[in-house]
C-alpha cells in the first residue's frame, strides 16, 4: 500500500502519519521525490480501507495498493529514477556509464596499464576481480587481498572509482576502499550477503543470477534496499538458455522491464552475456539503444594471455573504438557518456 501525499506537507505531519502506522505494526518506507512524497506500508494491508484513510487524513492525496512483492525498489513507491554518484561518476537516468577493466586483476602493471587506457577512452569506473568465483576449484581463484591492493593502486594513479566482486560478508573489511561492491551472478541469492551490504552506505552492483527471474533479481535488490542501503545498481549479464553458441543469452527485455518496474539504475554486461569478443560491441550498442544506464565491459591489455575470460575481453584498442561509437550514440539518446 502506498499513500501519495499532498504537496508541501510539513515534516511533523508526515512523522505523525508514519508513527501512527508503525504503532499499528506496519513497517514504512518514506520516499521523497521531486514530484511527490510517498509513504509505503509494509505488512498485512488487506484490511486497510484506502478511501477512509484519504477522507480522514488531511495530508494524503490518494492511496494505491502495490501488488508486487517488491516495494522499496518499486517505481510505484519511488517515481523518480535513482541516480547513484560514485566519485565523479553518475549511474542512472541521463547517463550511460561505462565500467571497464579486466575480469581479474593479475599484476600491478596489468591493472594500471588497463586503468590508464580505459580512462583515456572514457570509462568512468574501473572493474577488476580479486576474488573469482570459478566453476573449477583448480582454476585461477584471483589474486585476492593482493589483487585488491593492486586495484587500489590503479585507483590512486587514475582517480577512477573501483568495483570488485565480494563473495561473502566476512570479506567486508578487505573491501573498505572499494567504491562499489559487486555481488556476482552466483551470489545473487546469498541472502546473508545481501543483508550485510544492506547495512552499508556504499553502492552495490547486483548481477542477475544465471537462472534467476527478473522478479527474483528485484527481490534480491529489495533485501539490500529494505535493509537501508538505497544505492543498488541492477545488472543484466545474460541467462542460461538452451543456446550453446553463446556463453549466456542476453535478455534485453529484462533491461527494459527493470527500468519500468524499478527506480534503480540498470546496466548490462555484454561480455559475460555473450562470452565472445566480436559480439561485445554490437551488444553494447543494443544495450544503449534499449535504454540502459550503462555497461560493464571486460578489457585486457593482452586478451590471449588473460588468466580469466580472455575470449570475451576486448583489447584496449577495440575498447577505444567502441567508446568512440558509443559516444555518438549516447548523444543521440540524450545521455551523457
The interface mask with ligand PEP, positions 114-153, x = CB under 6 A, is ---------------x---x--------------------
Could you tell me the smallest distance in angstroms from the CB atom of residue 302 to ligand PEP?
Answer: 18
The interface mask with Mn ion, positions 275-314, x = CB under 5 A, is ----------------------------------x-----
Return the number of the residue (119 or 237) whose C-beta is nearest ligand PEP.
Answer: 237
- Nearest Cα neighbor of 240 from 152, 90, 135 is 135
d(CA 170, CA 23): 36
Return the number of the residue (75 or 207) whose C-beta is nearest ligand PEP.
Answer: 207
Which helix (DSSP H) or strand (DSSP E) does residue 205 occupy?
A: strand 204-207
- Contact assessment for residue 296 and residue 269, using Cβ atoms and an 8 Å cutoff: yes
Helix (H, G, I), strand (E, B) or coil at 32: strand
Return the number of the residue (133 or 228) whose C-beta is nearest ligand PEP.
Answer: 133
Residue 207 binding partner per list ligand PEP, Mn ion, none, with a CB distance cut-off of 5 to 8 Å that depends on partner kind: ligand PEP
Could you tell me the smallest distance in angstroms from the CB atom of residue 106 to Mn ion?
Answer: 12
Q: Enumerate residues 84-103 that contact ligand PEP by CB under 6 A.
A: 103
Cβ partners under 8 Å of residue 269, min gap 6: 207, 235, 236, 237, 238, 295, 296, 297
Number of shown-chain residues binding ligand PEP (CB under 6 A): 9
- Nearest Cα neighbor of 254 from 210, 215, 204 is 215
E strand segments, 72-152: 84-86, 89-91, 97-101, 125-127
**Residue from the set 71, 155, 237, 300 that interacts with ligand PEP by CB under 6 A:** 237
Residue 184 binding partner per list ligand PEP, Mn ion, none, with a CB distance cut-off of 5 to 8 Å that depends on partner kind: ligand PEP
Could you tell me the smallest distance in angstroms from the CB atom of residue 45 to ligand PEP?
Answer: 36
Residue 185 binding partner per list ligand PEP, Mn ion, none, with a CB distance cut-off of 5 to 8 Å that depends on partner kind: ligand PEP
* Torsion angles phi and psi, residue 25, rounded to 5: 100, 5
Q: Enumerate residues 167-196 that contact ligand PEP by CB under 6 A.
A: 184-186
Q: Which three cell numbers stand for residue 258?
A: 527493470
Contacts 24+ apart (CB under 8 A), 214-219: 214/251, 214/254, 214/257, 214/258, 214/261, 215/68, 215/69, 215/70, 216/188, 216/189, 217/188, 217/254, 217/258, 218/68, 218/70, 218/73, 218/258, 218/261, 218/262, 219/69, 219/70
Return the number of the residue (2 or 160) whose C-beta is nearest ligand PEP.
Answer: 160
Tell me which residue has its CB nearest to Mn ion: 103
Does position 60 interact with ligand PEP (CB under 6 A)? The reply is no
Return the number of the residue (63 or 238) whose C-beta is nearest ligand PEP.
Answer: 238
CA 11 to chain centre: 31
Residue ranges binding Mn ion (CB under 5 A): 103, 309
Residue ranges binding ligand PEP (CB under 6 A): 103, 129, 133, 184-186, 207, 237, 272
Amino acid at each position: 500500500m502506498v499513500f501519495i501525499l499532498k504537496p508541501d506537507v510539513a515534516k511533523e505531519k508526515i512523522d505523525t502519519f508514519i508513527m501512527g502506522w508503525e504503532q499499528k505494526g506496519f513497517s514504512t518506507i518514506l520516499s521523497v521525490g521531486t514530484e511527490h512524497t510517498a509513504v509505503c506500508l509494509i505488512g498485512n494491508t488487506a484490511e486497510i480501507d484506502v478511501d477512509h484513510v484519504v477522507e480522514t487524513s488531511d495530508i494524503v492525496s490518494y492511496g494505491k495498493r502495490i501488488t508486487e512483492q517488491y516495494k522499496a525498489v518499486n517505481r510505484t513507491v519511488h517515481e523518480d529514477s535513482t541516480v547513484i554518484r560514485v566519485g565523479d561518476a553518475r549511474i542512472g537516468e541521463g547517463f550511460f556509464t561505462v565500467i571497464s577493466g579486466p575480469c581479474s586483476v593479475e599484476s600491478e602493471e596489468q591493472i594500471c596499464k588497463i586503468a590508464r587506457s580505459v580512462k583515456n577512452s572514457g570509462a568512468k569506473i574501473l572493474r577488476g576481480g580479486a576474488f573469482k568465483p570459478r566453476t573449477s576449484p583448480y582454476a585461477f581463484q584471483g589474486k585476492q587481498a593482493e589483487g585488491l591492493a593492486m586495484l587500489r593502486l590503479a585507483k590512486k594513479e587514475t582517480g577512477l572509482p573501483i568495483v570488485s566482486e565480494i563473495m561473502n560478508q566476512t570479506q567486508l573489511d578487505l573491501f573498505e576502499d572499494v567504491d562499489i561492491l559487486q555481488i556476482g551472478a552466483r551470489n545473487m541469492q546469498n541472502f546473508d550477503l545481501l543483508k550485510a551490504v544492506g547495512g552499508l552506505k556504499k553502492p552495490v552492483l547486483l548481477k542477475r543470477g544465471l537462472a534467476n527471474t527478473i522478479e527474483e533479481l528485484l527481490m534480491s535488490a529489495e533485501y539490500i534496499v529494505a535493509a537501508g542501503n538505497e544505492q543498488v545498481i541492477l545488472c543484466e549479464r545474460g541467462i542460461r538458455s538452451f543456446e550453446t553458441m553463446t556463453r549466456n543469452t542476453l535478455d534485453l527485455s529484462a533491461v527494459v522491464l527493470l527500468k519500468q518496474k524499478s527506480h534503480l539504475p540498470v546496466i548490462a554486461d555484454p561480455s559475460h552475456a555473450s562470452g565472445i569478443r566480436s559480439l561485445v560491441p554490437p551488444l553494447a550498442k543494443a544495450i544503449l539503444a534499449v535504454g540502459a544506464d550503462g555497461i560493464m565491459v571486460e578489457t585486457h591489455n593482452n586478451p590471449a594471455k588473460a588468466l580469466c575470460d580472455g575470449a570475451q575481453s576486448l583489447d584496449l584498442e577495440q575498447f577505444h573504438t567502441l567508446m568512440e561509437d558509443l559516444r555518438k550514440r549516447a548523444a543521440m539518446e540524450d545521455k551523457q557518456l
